[in-house]
Chains A and B, each alone.
Chain A
Amino acid sequence: MMNLESIPLQAFLIVSSALFCIGIWGLLNSRNAVRVLMSIELMLNAVNINLMAFSSYVDNNLIQGQVFTIFVITVAAAEAAVGLAILLSLYRNRVTVDMESFNLLKW
């Protein structure tokens, strides 16, 4: 299926590396809490691309990477639900979504 003239594995890895770094940049620089959650989703997607590429190129008979991707998608859905619920109750208490104002744990 994947003969030597097909897309190299490295192309997928580079795309996922770039996506991961964009996610980290957004995580560090966003002021809006919803955008922070979006950046986390971007990073999880980068990891998923990595797992899928390895499962297709390195482990193409026992595709365990695809099973891992399914689990990562599950955990990401749970994380998004709980994260947005936390965000809603935080917004109810502090009437803002600015990350700089969530500093109760800062000493």
Chain B
Amino acid sequence: MSIAVTTQIICFSVLSLVILIGALGVVLLESIVYSAFLLGGVFMSVAGLYLLLNASFVAAAQVLVYVGAVNVLIIFAIMLVNKKEDLKPISDIKSRRIISTSICLTLLSLLIRVDLTNVWSLSSPQNSIGEESTIRIGEHLFSDYLLPFEVASVLLLMAMIGAIVLARRDVMSKDISTGLPVDQELIEKSSEPLLTNKN
């Protein structure tokens, strides 16, 4: 039934390495497009970890939703907002980096200490349902988690409508603030931005 332990450990090490190096690449690389594709790799490796944990349904959901939807959405957003711009230098960038890095390292050491010192009450492997987890998830979703399931569907509908409303262009014939006619073409033009030059 289960894969041999050595194979499991090898798979786990490779997947963890890919996850950690990919995540570092996501936050550290200069090019945002490379970051987006590395993020896809990280999502795939996380799905591999789920497979190691006998959760094939969640692994499939991870691949479908994260790689198929979220990552594609991120790449589309990069395509729409990708403009070469020279960022203004920040004066205290160095102290900010030092403070944030030390906070993250402190948090990491704290978490690892908790992970290693706490005594987890592991359940016996005889009770494990293993590969039948998909059936059990279905039972959960339609019995004791029925209300969250329905609320999640409402949430998805609200998110869809909200995203459409937020991201669409003006469809009115006149601009409310200026009174000028709004052009309805699909090509993004440089218009006078409303909120710039505040500082």
- Residues of chain A whose beta carbon lies under 8 Å from any beta carbon of chain B: 1-3, 5-7, 9-15, 17-26, 28-35, 37-39, 41-42, 45, 48-49, 52-53, 55-64, 66-67, 69-71, 73-82, 84-89, 91-98, 100-101, 103-104
Output the residue of B27, B54, B78, B160 with the most chain A CB within 10 A.
B27
Contact of A34 among B65, B81, B152 (CB under 8 A): B81
* Binary flags per residue of B110-154, CB closer than 8 Å to A gives 1, else 0: 011001100011110101111001001100110001001000100
Whether B182 is near chain A, meaning CB under 8 Å from some CB there, is no
Task: List, in ascending order, chain A residues with CB within 8 A of B166's CB.
Answer: 82, 85-86, 88-89
Min C-beta distance of B93 to chain A, whole Å: 9
If the complex has contacts A59-B123, A91-B80, are A22 and B137 also in contact, measured as CB distance less than 8 A?
Answer: no
CA distance A30 to B7 in the complex (A): 37
CA distance A13 to B145 in the complex (A): 26
CA distance A79 to B155 in the complex (A): 10
| B interface size (C-beta, 8 A) | 93
Contact of A82 among B108, B163, B199 (CB under 8 A): B163
Task: List, in ascending order, chain B residues with CB within 8 A of A37's CB.
Answer: 74, 77
Contact of A57 among B85, B90, B120, B199 (CB under 8 A): B120
If the complex has contacts A60-B128, A95-B196, are A78 and B26 also in contact, measured as CB distance less than 8 A?
Answer: no
Contact: B123 with A85, CB < 8 Å? no
Contact: B107 with A21, CB < 8 Å? yes
Q: Offer 22 A-B interface pairs, CB within 8 angstroms, sorted by A.
A: A5-B5, A14-B116, A18-B23, A19-B23, A22-B26, A30-B27, A34-B32, A34-B81, A37-B74, A38-B39, A38-B74, A41-B66, A45-B42, A52-B53, A55-B53, A56-B55, A58-B122, A61-B128, A69-B58, A77-B156, A98-B85, A103-B198
Contact: A73 with B1, CB < 8 Å? no
**With A24-B103, A45-B43, A87-B77 given, can you name 5 additional A-B contacts, CB distance below 8 Å?**
A24-B104, A29-B96, A34-B36, A61-B128, A80-B69
Contact: A75 with B155, CB < 8 Å? yes
Contact of B46 among A11, A26, A45 (CB under 8 A): A45
Contact: B58 with A17, CB < 8 Å? no
CA distance A103 to B90 in the complex (A): 14
Min C-beta distance of A31 to chain B, whole Å: 5
Min C-beta distance of B48 to chain A, whole Å: 11
